[in-house]
Amino acid sequence: MAAPGQATAAPAPTAPFARESTAPFAPAPTAPDGKQPVATGYGGAVSTVDPDASRSAIEVLRKGGNAMDAAVAATATLGVTEPYVAAIGGGGYFTYYDARSRRVYTIDGREKAPGAMRETSFLDPATGKPLAFDEAVTSGLSVGVPGTVAQWDTGLRRFGTRSMASLLQPAIRVAEHGFTVDQEFQDQTATNEARFRDIVPTRELFLPGGRLPQVGSTFRNPDLARTYRELARRGPSWLYGGELGKEIVRTVRHPPKDPAATRNVRPGLMSDADLPAYRPVWRDPTHVSYRGVDVYGMAPSSSGGTTVGEALNILGNYRLSPKDPVTALHYYLEASKLAYADRGAYVGDPDKVDVPVRELLSRGYARERACRISPDTAATAPVPPGSPDGRYGHCRPPAATARPLGQEGPQTTHLVVADRWGNVASYTLSIEQFGGSGLTVPGRGFLLNNELTDFSFQPPAPGAAPDPNLPGPGKRPRSSMSPTIVLRHGRPMLAVGSPGGSTIITTVLQILLNRVDLGMDLPDALAAPRATQRNTPQVFAEQGFLDRYGPALTAKGHRLALFPGPPAGQIGAATGLEFLAPGLVRAVAEPVRRHGGSALVVWPSR
């Protein structure tokens, strides 16, 4: 048997790294709302989904702040302009390249279950069956202990050069003066309108005058401005053990539902002791080498780094060429299928369960999994997981039956920042669904997350394989967030990530495939039509992907269908950076998906 990393016969030789196109690059035009999807220049760069957030980061960079500082400022502003995905009532994962040490660091700021949570907490006591997903979401039961503010504090103490108080100032200005409502903000509000009407402070804040905010109007959040001011003055302890934390707990335990509403909004389990007990965790990043580059990602409790890394290791066994994109995409879909099977079987909170990270990312295991792939025929999904046990042979039988894909909200956000010194931040954060739990802390201007619905709701049947993602006291639910940094010769080459729930992994993986194997530059790699295979019977794809590749992949046995959303027909909303030359950075955002993103640089190149 081959030991991990020991050379054995591979299915096919690998291709060399595909170089970036040398065709002249034309800057993308600026949209009427001020968004531009691509910006190239010097002195630092940022890409987010929102122009106000990107401008906040650029302001910090121009005043001498670094990538960590700018990422916090941008994220605080997203809490104003993207309140349904980026509130301080949530959490996330932060990947950071430190130019001084030339190392990648990661901070796990994922929300934690309260100490009173048990494996059966999402079972209806009256029936013993799992709660309906929608009922679990809009409840105090779904709210995890928020990690965002503690994550900011942890990152700034290690790598920042500015105080949190100063970095909150751009966001305070936006909250006070307001931002212009765009179609995306109105669409997200409309998606939540029915449940927002049932929660009194949420209705008052996000349905002013009882109506949807109109496109082109100005939306202000003075409550959040006051909250940020107080946070700037008092510091994170105001949330983790202070009065703000107590207000969060009261909201969770006594959801402020309209007495006239018929919706069943269940109380949660959080206590005053849960917030001061919260700590972010510095974790070693995941790392795989692929076609001569080094790909760093987020380790568990996220499944992003292990699943992206395992799929890349599987793909590394094959020659993939831009001359034959159908074959490359076939292997991409099959590698995703296998990696997702292992994700469901083995990945959870490493502080609570044993996650075989080293074996999942070993090349020996990737070769064993790769031999399950037929070059001409798609495997019937769901496929079973493998055995990452360190004993790797040729096409060993599966370890167990496949686990169904769990529910995971697609409403997240991602940003990337680089500074003049070469530091790079790749940051994904969320409150889970658009609008999280639907519970706004009264008078505070922010929503609370529903991240605990990322847990499996029901324990496995007696005799079945254990589920690493069951709820438990102080446990972090598994996530798919995949903030990724790619180095070449020890220096940053790419930084990328995306929202999208369990599709985040495939979005990041497909962007890397497009850039590294199919020879696209980053704007094209990010804009290209997407498909997602998460070990489900169907491959869900965007219409452009179906039009371009559907017939050829169907002939190989893939069952393709239009991605149902939300939003329908759109997978992810990625942001990325590409490092073109010393000091020269290209920031890239979505040109179309979710009405486009905002890429900016400090000093644009001519």
Annotated binding-site ranges for L-glutamate:
110, 454, 479-480, 501
Query: From CA 479, how far away is CA 409, in angstroms rounded?
Result: 10
CA 281 to chain centre: 17
Does a cis peptide bond (omega within 30 degrees of 0) precede residue 208? no
Three-state SS annotation for 244-258? HHHHHHHHHHCCCEC
User: Which DSSP state fits 426?
Assistant: E
Query: From CA 344, how far away is CA 29, in angstroms rounded?
Result: 42
Query: From CA 494, how far away is CA 484, in angstroms rounded?
Result: 8
* Sign of the Cα pseudo-torsion (177, 182, 184, 187, in order): positive
Query: From CA 45, how far away is CA 602, in angstroms rounded?
Result: 6
499 within 8 A of 429, measured Cβ to Cβ: no
- 117 closest CA partner among 601, 473, 461: 473
CA 352 → CA 16, 303, 348, 470, distances in Å? 40, 15, 8, 10
Which tokens belong to 590? 């979505």
The length of the chain in residues reads 606
- 144 closest CA partner among 427, 475, 407, 412: 475
Packing angle of the helix pair 243-253, 222-234 (nearest 10 deg): 130
Which residues sit in the known binding site?
A: 110, 454, 479-480, 501
Active-site residue flag, 412 = yes
Give the CB-side neighbour count of residue 212, counting CA atoms within 13 A: 17
Packing angle of the helix pair 67-81, 222-234 (nearest 10 deg): 150
- Sequential DSSP letters for 186-211: HHHHHHHHHHHHHBHHHHHHHSGGGS
Q: Which of 77, 106, 412, 413 is catalytic?
A: 412
CA 3 → CA 391, 392, 397, distances in Å? 7, 7, 18
CA 305 → CA 357, 487, 588, distances in Å? 9, 15, 21
Three-state SS annotation for 34-51? CCCCEEEEEEEEEEECCH
**Which residues are designated catalytic?**
412
